[in-house]
Structure 1
Amino acid sequence: MAPKNEKPLHSLIAGATAGGIEAFVTYPTEYVKTRSQFGGKRESPISILRTTLKTKGITGLYSGCTALIVGNSVKAGVRFVSYDKFKGILADSEGKVSAPRSLVAGLGAGMTEAIFAVTPSETIKTKLIDDAKRPIPQYRGLIHGTTQIVKAEGLRGIYRGLFPVMMRQGANSAVRFTTYSTLKQFCQGATRGGQELPTVVTFGIGGIAGLVTVYTTMPLDVIKTRMQSLEARSQYRNSFHCAYRIFTEEGVLRFWTGTTPRLVRLVLSGGIVFTVYEKVVAVIGGRS
């Protein structure tokens, strides 16, 4: 029997819900990861946490959070809808999708979400975090920060780093969906009649997918952060120039700066997003 597919509207609702919850729960790790990837003096995750809590309090760890929650909700909704569409196009006559085709579907979903959701929200979030470390921040929040960025740099200002974001999101979704789908099919095949998996198993599979994603896409994430920082225009001509400078001036290991907090976030993210998505879809009856 062919696998059941989610209705587009229900995929959008479930994905947006999962994305918003995941963004809020894991944001402190995203804040620490982003801070650690800026140029200049290297700071350990613990040092960033300690300094931020001392100077800004717990709210300091949520600088730029609203931008990520909104962007993550839209991103996750777009991701699941577009992944289902690409998967439907690439499925065989029995409705099944092989691992290579799942990889292509994930790549397409990642590219789509990068253009419509991720790049603007990530750019604004990164600039807000970069601004927050100043003694006197210029931006007073999401709306004020966004209007000031657009006023100073135009729409290009919130689409800075589009290329590395597209590459990162394409790779993220390709690796994450392929890993998740492959492990899910394997686990379902090991159960009688391909029954729905327990929540703890779904969370575990999603966590493993996040783990694999981190180590394979970390360099793209570092380049993305640098290209969206406040100093990017004066330091880097483009993404390739940024990568070249990091490699020649700071060494290859700099491309994996922020791995620990991103690892924590994506392992939790993978578990939370896929678990919440599956539960919401089941509740609203989105499979057809």
Structure 2
Amino acid sequence: MGRGEAMPTVSLQDSFKINNSQGERKKLFASVSIRNEDPLNTMRTFFEGLIAGGTAGVVVETALYPIDTIKTRLQASYIHRILVLSIFSILIFTMAARGGGQIVWKGLYSGLAGNIAGVLPASAIFVGVYEPTKKALLKSFPDNLSAFAHLIAGAVGGAASSLVRVPTEVVKQRMQTGQFASAPNAVRLIVSKEGFKGLYAGYGSFLLRDLPFDAIQFCIYEQLRIGYKLAAKRDLNDPENALIGAFAGVLTGAVTTPLDVIKTRLMVQGSANQYKGIFDCVQTIVRDEGPQALLKGIGPRVLWIGIGGSIFFGVLEKTKSVLAQRRPNIENPESSKQD
């Protein structure tokens, strides 16, 4: 960050005790030095990541599921019929004296329970893999390449969690577009009609969207946090973590919207096979609907990911802090501050 670079590097790092090398050199990226960790610390990092990631994922999914439902319906190819019905249903039944809330819940929260069952392990796996991978890479990479360590760790975490996230996303989006009434029913019918591979529909497009998304979002978040710490000469508080998470989410969400549209179209098409693959999907959308169709749902997506980033990273850092405080006293207290 600009403010961090304008200040003397040595004094900032000394005040935070981040680097313990004798000679300081100019940094191209904000960075921290990671101490050598024994296997016990690595396992502790993994399990704390599982807990923190699972907690943050469930909180975000529960809070923002309606926005995600609206985004999915905007991106679906039969946008007008579904969108109009959704808007009228919400307007009519929310004004009703009784029963309106239940119908809105069934519409916008369709598939929430089943989705949480997938989000919990997926988020846990992601952070559980990301944290020790990040620490290992930061030990191996030069200090001025810490951003690349964060990028790679985000991609590795995303790849590991995709085995759970993709089936969850397929079921969720099929329910959000009204194809199924319950998650168990969705899984059963998808497998019976499309085979087990139906649960991984759009897997390639999912990786195309989520691996860059995870890598970029976590890299931006980590680098901003490190730069902010160096500039402020203190640890960040909860609102500051949330604000940085929101900024990282908004920026990354906007950039990756076209990839999200492609992923949604491939996942909700079912056995109709309207698209033959990623490139055919792009060509068909651009030909039939124009290039602007690749930005469908950008408003709800940016809103959802921006707020979601704020909640996710805020809860994540708070949970990690609470878990760090419960570590054995014999552990070096400096290690809990390392990012």
CA contact (8 A) 1:52 1:61 kept: no
Alignment equivalent of 1:154, drawn from 180, 195, 213: 195
1:61 partner letter = L
5+ residue gaps in structure 1? 133-138
Q: Which residue of 2 aligns with 1:135?
A: none
Q: Give TM-score scaled by structure 1 length.
A: 0.88
Q: Which residue of 2 aligns with 1:64?
A: 111
Aligned ranges for residues 77-92 of structure 1 at < 5 Å? 77-92=124-139
Question: What is the DSSP-based 3-state SS (H/G/I as helix, E as strand, rest coil) of the residue aligned with 1:131?
Answer: coil
User: In the alignment, does 2:224 pair up with 1:183?
Assistant: yes
Q: Which moved more, 1:83-92 or 1:260-269?
A: 83-92
CA contact (8 A) 1:127 1:229 kept: yes
5+ residue gaps in structure 2? 1-17, 19-32, 36-41, 94-102, 328-334
1:169 partner letter = D
Q: Per-residue displacement from partner, 1:232-252 (whole Å, max 9, x unpaired)?
A: 633111122111101121111
* Sequence identity (%): 28
Question: What is the DSSP-based 3-state SS (H/G/I as helix, E as strand, rest coil) of the residue aligned with 1:28?
Answer: helix
Alignment equivalent of 1:12, drawn from 50, 70, 73: 50
User: In the alignment, does 2:51 pair up with 1:51?
Assistant: no
| Alpha-carbon distance in structure 1 between the residues aligned to 2:271 and 2:149 | 36
Q: Which residue of 2 aligns with 1:74?
A: 121
Q: Kindly tell me: are residues 277 and 41 of structure 1, through their superposed partners in 2, closer, same or farther at Cα, counting changes over 3 Å? A: closer
| Alpha-carbon distance in structure 2 between the residues aligned to 1:172 and 1:52 | 33
Consecutive aligned runs of 4 or more in structure 1 exceeding 4 Å deviation:
3-6, 41-45, 93-97
| Alpha-carbon distance in structure 2 between the residues aligned to 1:273 and 1:232 | 34
Q: Which moved more, 1:210-219 or 1:29-38?
A: 210-219
Q: Give TM-score scaled by structure 2 length.
A: 0.76
Q: Per-residue displacement from partner, 1:242-283 (whole Å, max 9, x unpaired)?
A: 111011211111111001111111011111111111111111
Alignment equivalent of 1:109, drawn from 157, 171, 177: 157
Higher Rg of the two aligned structures: 2
Q: Which residue of 2 aligns with 1:196?
A: 235
CA RMSD of aligned residues (A): 2.3
1:41 CA displacement: 4.3
Q: Which moved more, 1:100-109 or 1:181-190?
A: 100-109
Q: Per-residue displacement from partner, 1:83-102 (whole Å, max 9, x unpaired)?
A: 22332332135995611221
| Alpha-carbon distance in structure 1 between the residues aligned to 2:320 and 2:263 | 32
| Alpha-carbon distance in structure 1 between the residues aligned to 2:253 and 2:232 | 29
Equivalent pairs counted in the alignment come to 278
| Alpha-carbon distance in structure 2 between the residues aligned to 1:163 and 1:153 | 17
Q: Kindly tell me: are residues 221 and 14 of structure 1, through their superposed partners in 2, closer, same or farther at Cα, counting changes over 3 Å? A: same
Q: Which residue of 2 aligns with 1:241?
A: 280
Question: What is the DSSP-based 3-state SS (H/G/I as helix, E as strand, rest coil) of the residue aligned with 2:268?
Answer: coil
